[in-house]
Amino acid sequence: MSVETATATTLAHELSPLPIGRGLWLRQILAIIRVELRRNLFGRRSLLAYALAGLPVFVMLVLMIARRPGGAPVFENLGAARTAYAMIFQTFILRAVVFFGCVGIFTNLFRGEVLDRSLHYYLLSPLRREVLVAGKFLAGLVQTWALFVGTVVLSFLMLYPPFGATKAIDDLFRGPGLSQLFAYVGVVLLGSLGYGAVFMIVGVVFRNPIVPALTVLGWETISFLLPPMLKRISVIHYLKGLYPLPMSEGPFAVVAQPPPAWVSVTGLIGLSVVVLVLSSLYVRKLEVRYGED
């Protein structure tokens, strides 16, 4: 069955029978989430996200198996292992895996439908454009959270096998291990929310999202050089205060105090709300012309 036929059939089944009344929008949003997850979790455009999600697990697997000369583990102790993981998380997992995963997933929420010539099935369905935007955004969020939270949990737990089960249990439940793991998960949840919001509107507004995505990447990469006022308009700035083990950004970094946790959380949630509103206003006027793409 083609993508267009599958989309039309699924939308007709999920959206048409919904009665008008209280809770209609919520039921429509849930229906859109189900449609999007069924199509995207195993779609070809999700292959990049799956590959990215597997890279940190592979890296940690290599470090877990590798041995120094003499047969000792790569890390001398759990403290050194957690410090190394903090570096891997901040420089690789967050800035590369989560960032590019959100690029691939959220820019394709609308842009992918245009390329597949299936967006008109949504636009012809009996639902408000705001509901469509909210449903697609939440579906993308569910997908990124499922992938990258799993990545963080698996890669972090791979720190422990070289040191044995006893030390692992002691560090997780009597030491800082479990609290650090929860902090990393929280950063991934908020990072996916912030980057997802940014790339949601990029995918809605721009026909070619590559240049805007590279612009955002460049801005986030040089954020440590920016003055404190400009740092506030980068997603990474609001995540730094949530790191369980902050790392030095080098001698050329412009020092700025990271915001408190409550500011980071409310700021990124506020960003997602603003982006949903702006995306909804744009989608209200959206006219699909497949011949131009």
User: What is the tens place of the pLDDT at every residue in 200-244?
Assistant: 999 888 888 889 999 999 999 888 888 888 888 889 989 988 999
136 close to 29: Cβ distance less than 8 angstroms:
no
Tell me the C-alpha distance between 90 and 238, whole Å: 13
Q: How far is the C-alpha of 134 from the C-alpha of 200, rounded, in Å? A: 11
What pLDDT, on a 0 to 100 scale, did the predictor assign at position 178? 93
Tokens 């999202």 belong to residue: 209
CA distance 147 to 48: 11
pLDDT tens profile 20-49: 544 777 888 888 888 888 887 777 777 888
**φ/ψ of residue 218, rounded to 5:** -60, -40
The per-residue pLDDT for range 91-149, each reduced to its tens digit, is: 999 999 999 999 989 998 888 777 777 777 787 777 888 888 999 999 999 999 999 99
Contacts of 167 (CB under 8 A, 6+ apart): 78, 160
| Tens digits of residue pLDDT in 237-283 | 899 889 998 877 766 677 778 888 899 999 999 999 998 999 888 88
Q: For position 14, what pLDDT does the model report? A: 56
CA 154 – CA 142 distance, rounded (Å)? 18
